[in-house]
Amino acid sequence: MKIYYEKDVDTGVLANKTIAVIGYGSQGMAQSRNMADSGLNVVVGLREGGSSWQTAKDDGMNVMSIEDAAKTADIVHILIPDEIQGAVYEQSIKPYLEEGNTISFSHGYNIHYGYIQAPQGVNVTMSAPKGPGAMVRRTYLEGFGIPGLVAVEVDATGDAKQQALAMGKGCGLARAGILETTFKEETETDLFGEQAVLCGGVTELIKAGFKTLVDGGYQPEVAYFETCHELKLIVDLIYEKGFAGMWHDVSNTAEFGGLTRRSRVVTPEAQKEMAEILKEIQEGKFAKEWALENQAGRPMLKRMRDLEDELQIEEVGSKLRKLCGLEK
């Protein structure tokens, strides 16, 4: 495992290069502003008249159309949603790439699954914070940063990794450490984490726990506090201190109960399903399913969003978050 820190990275490799950040969402805003504040030459490429255009201008960024940004830049850092990257790349970026340029990403999805293919002589790199954009910006302003990843799929110029590392340093990632990986590893582990644990797994666990308590006759408000609200407190302890530190900080009763019962919830059958989910990711089955879903106008996603909004835990949670001052 190779980890790079600030002392290991020379941003001089970017001294005469222009970086075009495509997109100004959570990551686009944070990364472009951090790199600009670090002294790198950054422009922001956006759809003219789009909702982010004036926001980026108000933040002091040099804003231009995606096409003009691609023409201007030596490095095009693509931070728009996965599902639209391919079309935007083909229409507004690829025609303006020249030999020696770099296309850069913070998620390897479109490169790994072949939805974007670089022309001959163009670098393909990754500079990826391991955290949400708001945290990338906040920790940078606080004088620190969050960890990041770096990867090179194509090194056409011989210094592709140095460029990607310099971008990571400009974002503040080298303050915490930049881990070297591959597009394959980043893409497959990221999708698995989202689906099986961080987004899919944890929400299904919360729903199941909430329903079990409500079906058992307990107040929905109490059930929400016990299965959802307090989750952040536990995750924060794990984030800061690891499993052992979390077990040390909760009660002995909680520790004994958790350690003796957890495998009855996440069973060997659940782990088999996790392995199947990983296999679908590795074989490209999920990517094909998501592509077809987008081609059809996302009917399944829209329906699932509607169903999620109708859940009792959402109604109860919204009410309690307002009482706690967490939601307006």
Active site residues: 107
Instruction: Give the whole-angstrom CA distance, residue 271 versus residue 292.
Output: 27
Residue type, 211: K
- Estimate to the nearest angstrom the gap between the alpha carbon of 112 and the chain centroid: 16
Return left, alpha or beta for 298; rule: phi > 0 is left, psi -120 to 50 is alpha, else beta.
left
Say if strands 148-154 and 178-180 run parallel, antiparallel, or are unpaired: parallel
Residue type, 49: G
Instruction: Give the whole-angstrom CA distance, residue 202 versus residue 223.
Output: 16
CB atoms within 10 A of CB 59: 15
